[in-house]
Amino acid sequence: MLEIVSWAAVALILFTATTMLIHSDWRITLGALALQYLAMFWLVTRHLPFAMGSVKLITGWMVVVILGMTRLGLTNIEEEEAFFPRGQAFRLALMSIVALVAAGASPRIETSIPGLGLPVIVGGLLLIGGGIIHLGLTTNILRVILGLLTMLAGFEILYAAIESAILVTGLLAVVNLGLGVVGSYLMLAGSTPLESEEDL
């Protein structure tokens, strides 16, 4: 039963990572990110205690809220840069390649690091691949942050299986929150008036 739920989490990860990649609407993208953290939570708790997994889930959702609130408050935002390749078909093809690579590489990783579990490896690799594709396709600040968060989520799924220190979990939560705050700051920068003459 647990295995089936784990594979369902992997399917959810594939769905959310693809949605984030092909949709330009920030509301849908952030919604997908929130769902992604739910799937990540399940996979992380395969190896970490429930409480430590919850930290990652709550942190992730806090990041989604921070980014969402910031984006909501911005009015004069330039649309994402239009540069080739931006077609949805191309992005779908890229995500398919990532899925194929993850499916192909996972059994080998499972052999060399026994005990991780195939769903954990596939889920982790899908997120890492999806995040890196995201970073490669855009220079838009919100999307870069989303790419970094996605990549880190994948890394955290895999790393949770080999390192369960509370300090690491705490610091990774700080890094995730920090990325959210920095992303918000970078989105806001330039949209506020000068603070004082000294700023000139």
Partner 1 sequence: MSAPILWIVIPFLTGVFIFLISSERYSAWVGGGVSAVLSAVAFFIPIDTALLLGTLSIKIAPAIQVFGRSFELNAADGLLLTIIYGLASLWFFGAKASGSQSRFVSFGLMIVALLTASIAVEPFLYAALLLEVAAMLVIPLLVPSYQRASQGVVRFLTYQTLAMPFILFSGWMLTGVEASPSDLGTTLQAGVMLALGFAFLFAVFPLYHWIPMLMEETPPYATGFLLWALPTFIAIFALGFLDRYTWLRNSPQLMSAIQFAGLFMVASGGIFAALQRHLGRILAYASISHTGLILLAFGLQSPQMAHLVFLTLIPRGLELAVWAFALSIIKRKAYSLQFSDVQGLSRIYPVATAALTFAHLSITGFPLLAGFPSRLALWQSLTNDLLLLFWVFVGMFGLLVAAMRTLAVFVMTEEPGWKLSEGWAQAVMLAVGVSGLFLLGIFPQILQPLLANIPSLFEHLGR
Q: Which is nearer to partner 1, 8 or 69 (CB)?
A: 69
Smallest gap, in angstroms, from Cβ of residue 148 to partner 1? 5
C-alpha to C-alpha distance for 169 and 50, rounded to whole angstroms: 12
- Kindly provide the b/e burial profile for residues 8-32, where b requires at least 16 CB atoms within 10 angstroms of the residue's own CB: ebbebbbebbbbbbbeeebeebbbb
What span, in angstroms and rounded, lies between the C-alpha atoms of 200 and 188? Answer: 18
Q: Does 62 bind partner 1 (CB under 8 A)?
A: no
Residues 112-151 that bind partner 1 (CB under 8 A): 112, 128, 135, 139, 141, 144, 148, 151
Cis upstream peptide for 49 (omega within 30°): no
Residues binding partner 1: number (CB under 8 A):
39
Rounded to whole angstroms, how far apart are CA atoms 123 and 116? 11
Structure tokens at 50: 């429930």
Interacting residue with partner 1 among 49, 73, 85, 170 (CB under 8 A):
170
Side-chain half-sphere of 87: how many Cα atoms within 13 Å? 4
Positive or negative, the CA dihedral 73, 143, 88, 27 is: negative
- 79 is a site residue for partner 1 (CB under 8 A): no
Verify binding: residue 107, partner 1, rule CB under 8 A. no
Please identify, among the stretches 13-21, 44-52, 86-94, 173-181, the one whose residues bind partner 1 according to the rule CB under 8 A: 173-181
Residue 182 found at the interface with partner 1 (CB under 8 A): yes
Interface with partner 1 by CB under 8 A: which range of 17-25, 36-44, 57-65, 168-176?
168-176
Return the number of the residue (35 or 132) whose C-beta is nearest partner 1. Answer: 132
Query: Please, are residues 122 and 102 in contact by the beta-carbon 8 Å criterion?
Result: yes
- Least separation, in Å, of the C-beta of 89 and partner 1? 26
Cα-to-chain-centroid distance, residue 104: 22
2 binds partner 1 (CB under 8 A): no
- Is residue 75 at the binding interface for partner 1, with CB under 8 A as the rule? no
Query: N- to C-terminal Cα distance for the chain?
Result: 62
Positions touching partner 1 (CB under 8 A) are 112, 128, 135, 139, 141, 144, 148, 151-152, 155, 158-159, 162-163, 165-168, 170-172, 174-175, 178-179, 181-182, 185-190, 192-195, 198-199
